[in-house]
Amino acid sequence: AATTALADYYQQQATAKPASMDAFWMPFTANKQFKAAPRLLASASGMHYRDVDGREILDACAGLWCVNAGHARPRIVEAVKRQIETLDFAPNFSMSSPLPFVLAQRLAELSPGDLNHVFFTNSGSESVDSALKIALAYHRARGDGQRTRLIGREKAYHGVGFGGISVGGLPNNRKWFGPLLPGTDHLRHTLDIQRNAFSQGLPAHGLELAEDLERLVALHDASTIAAVIIEPISGSAGVILPPDGYLQRIRQICDKHGILLIFDEVITGFGRVGKAFAAQRVGVTPDIITAAKGLSNGCVPMGAVLVSERIHQAFAQGADNAIDLFHGYTYSGHPLACAAALATLDTYAEENLFEKAIELGDYWQQAIHSLKGLPNVIDIRNYGLIGAIEFAPRDGAPGTRGFDVFNDAFHKGGMLTRVTGDVIALSPPLIIEKTHIDQIFERLADIIRGVA
Ligand code: PMP
């Protein structure tokens, strides 16, 4: 029955609506509400989706912050097709295939500093949990195994693994799931609408929040702290930017106390802010980078953890026949994902897409800030080709106004955005042109007036 269903689906040119929507338990979704008024995408190309009713939807969020090269790019499509015909799967435990080596080398060349060694995963969540485990094992490998504390930040999103939600700082993602990892702590977040409302680029106020890390060092002693994990820009919490100088100061404090610094670049990686990684744009080199999303342009799941020479060296000291890291996934370095990623990196390079976020940055900034003054807009934030518009919550019902804008953007404006609470987040594919930027903000302005 299942194969007939797929054949039927393709025959109807992928626009068929499912006969029943009961069985699919959708992730991070108000399932009842969604199923009453679904938003169903059927196909995609370049800057646009088409929904099952045949309407064109302008993609203002690169899917879920991942389709940085735009949809269904021929080079990537070809690479995946060719790869599945050639080698559909290869184990990567104690054997491998050539592509993960080629891809890892490419990533090492793109990475900041000496982050020259790459561990492959299948998602951002897996990258985060892998990075936390690598940090703990690194200290232990060096005889410093009492360093076990992991520090994250309030409002941080580091995926949904137990490590990620433990260092993460979004209450809804934590409170349902028990005591989480012991020995975690959180720095304060850096969102300060009172002082920084409508800042353009990095906000001026809040550098002093980095001193939270010194406070935790004083409280717990540096000798117990393994790592600090930070999104250079918090995406999922609604695009929270680091105050000017904040990441530099965190780096200094980590260096002073022998604490590893992990940048979670699952959203900020691959051109979102004008360089391969945000680390390079802000001029701060972490010890570990977690990546996913734009790595494979979203079309085949893939994540990666990039680590420095120093960290890699610590694992290389055992006997030649000793396994150096007891960690991995069946699909680490999957050949389809590697092919998709290599073709994606080629596309970024050939079309200079990483530079687009700088070239178009001023235009984007002016366009998004043109919404200032619209009803209930209390803050607008931007950096590179990422941005957010925050609304005052409706009385007693935080989140409703944001959801209404999101919903109307889709149904009335033919546009895909992302909503968290009362924040509308935007992170378009990097192939965006000025005309698309104009469309996004003209449509949004209309919609925001409409939901007032
Ligand atoms: N880290 C960050 C910073 C993210 O934004 C996300 C996803 N939005 C993740 C981790 C988790 O990635 P995934 O959904 O691929 O597990």
- 154 Cβ inside 6 Å of ligand 1: no
User: Which of 236, 262, 263, 419 for mutating ligand 1's site (highest number of atoms within 8 Å of CB)?
Assistant: 236
Mean pLDDT of 101-105: 98
Q: Does the CB atom of residue 367 touch ligand 1 within 6 A?
A: no
Cα 8 to middle of ligand 1, angstroms:
33
Instruction: Specify the DSSP element, H or E, that contains 350.
Output: helix 335-350
The ipTM of this complex is 0.99
pLDDT digits 0-9 by tens, 259-276: 999 999 999 999 999 999
CATH 3.40.91.50 fits 2-69+354-451, yes or no: no
Measure 12 CA to ligand 1 centroid, in angstroms: 33
In this predicted structure, what is the pLDDT of residue 6? 75
CA of 299 to the centre of ligand 1 (A): 15
Amino acid at 57: I
Beta bridge partners, 71, equal 46
pLDDT tens per residue across span 118-168: 999 999 999 999 999 999 999 999 999 999 999 999 999 999 999 999 999
Q: Tens of pLDDT along 338-393?
A: 999 999 999 999 999 999 999 999 999 999 999 999 999 999 999 999 999 999 99
How far is it, in rounded angstroms, from Cα 66 to Cα 157?
A: 15
CA distance 148 to 184: 9
Task: Catalogue the E-assigned strands of 66-144.
Answer: 117-121
**Cβ–ligand 1 contact at 296 (below 6 Å):** no
Using CA atoms, how far apart are residues 235 and 117, in angstroms rounded to an integer?
Answer: 26
Structure tokens at 246: 């904040």
Q: What pLDDT is recorded for position 2?
A: 57
Does 219 or 13 have the greater pLDDT score? 219
CA of 123 to the centre of ligand 1 (A): 7
Q: Is any atom of ligand 1 closer than 6 Å to the C-beta of 266?
A: yes
**Mean of the per-residue pLDDT values of the chain:** 96
Q: How far apart are the first and last CA of the chain?
A: 48
* 387: enclosing H helix or E strand: strand 386-391
Q: What is the mean pLDDT of residues 85-104?
A: 97
CA-based radius of gyration for the chain? 22
Q: Answer yes or no: is the C-beta of 237 below 6 A from any ligand 1 atom.
A: no
The answer to whether the 2-69+354-451 and 77-350 domains have the same CATH topology is: no
- Domain 77-350, CATH among 1.20.1600.10, 3.40.640.10, 3.40.50.300, 2.60.120.620: 3.40.640.10
**What are the sequence ranges of the domains in the chain?**
2-69+354-451, 77-350
73: left (phi over 0), alpha (psi -120 to 50) or beta: beta
Tell me, in angstroms, the distance from the centre of ligand 1 to residue 158's CA: 6
Going by pLDDT thresholds of 50, 70 and 90, the confidence category of residue 430 is: very high
Which residue, among 402, 29, 401, 388, has the nearest Cα to 238 in the 3D structure? 388
Please state the rounded mean pLDDT for residues 37-54: 94
Ligand 1 centroid to 247 CA: how many Å? 20
Sign of the C-alpha dihedral computed for residues 150, 155, 159 and 160 taken in this order: positive
Q: What is the DSSP string of 196-260?
A: HTT-SSS-SS-GGGGHHHHHHHHHH-GGGEEEEEE-SSB-TTT-BPPPTTHHHHHHHHHHHHT-E
Instruction: Please name the residue that has the structure tokens 């530099």.
Output: 248
Q: Is 173 a pocket residue for ligand 1 (Cβ < 6 Å)?
A: no
Query: Given strand 56-59, what is the order of strands in its sheet?
Result: 41-45, 48-51, 56-59, 415-416
Residue 233: pLDDT above 70? Answer: yes
- Given this model, what pLDDT does residue 126 score? 99
Q: From the CB of 227, is ligand 1 less than 6 Å away?
A: no
Q: What pLDDT score was predicted for residue 256?
A: 98
Which residue is closest in CA terms to ligand 1's atom 12? 124
List the residue whose alpha carbon is closest to atom 8 of ligand 1. Answer: 236
Of the residues 61, 122, 125, which should be mutated to test ligand 1's pocket, given the most ligand atoms within 8 Å of the CB? 125
Sign, CA torsion 433/438/440/443: negative
Percentage of the chain exceeding pLDDT 90: 91
Residues 256, 211: Cα–Cα separation, whole Å: 13
User: With a 6 A CB cut-off, is 159 part of the ligand 1 pocket?
Assistant: yes
CA angle 383, 164, 326 (to 5 degrees): 120
Q: What's the predicted TM-score (pTM) here? A: 0.97
User: Distances from the Cα of 13 to the Cαs of 54, 155, 430, in angstroms?
Assistant: 11, 41, 28
Of the two residues 6 and 72, the one the predictor is more confident about is 72
How far, in Å, from the CA of 390 to the mean position of ligand 1?
Answer: 21
Q: Does ligand 1 lie within 6 Å of residue 292's CB atom?
A: yes
* Spatial CA neighbour of 324 closest among 141, 142, 146, 136: 141
Q: How far is ligand 1, taken at its centre, from the CA of residue 293, in Å?
A: 8
Residues 6+ apart with CB under 8 A from 177: 162, 165
336-351 per-position pLDDT tens digit? 999 999 999 999 999 9
The pLDDT of residue 7 is 76
Atom of ligand 1 nearest to the CA of 265: 3
| Residue 120 CA to ligand 1 centre (angstroms) | 15
Q: Give the HSE-up count for residue 45: Cα atoms under 13 Å, Cβ half-sphere.
A: 3
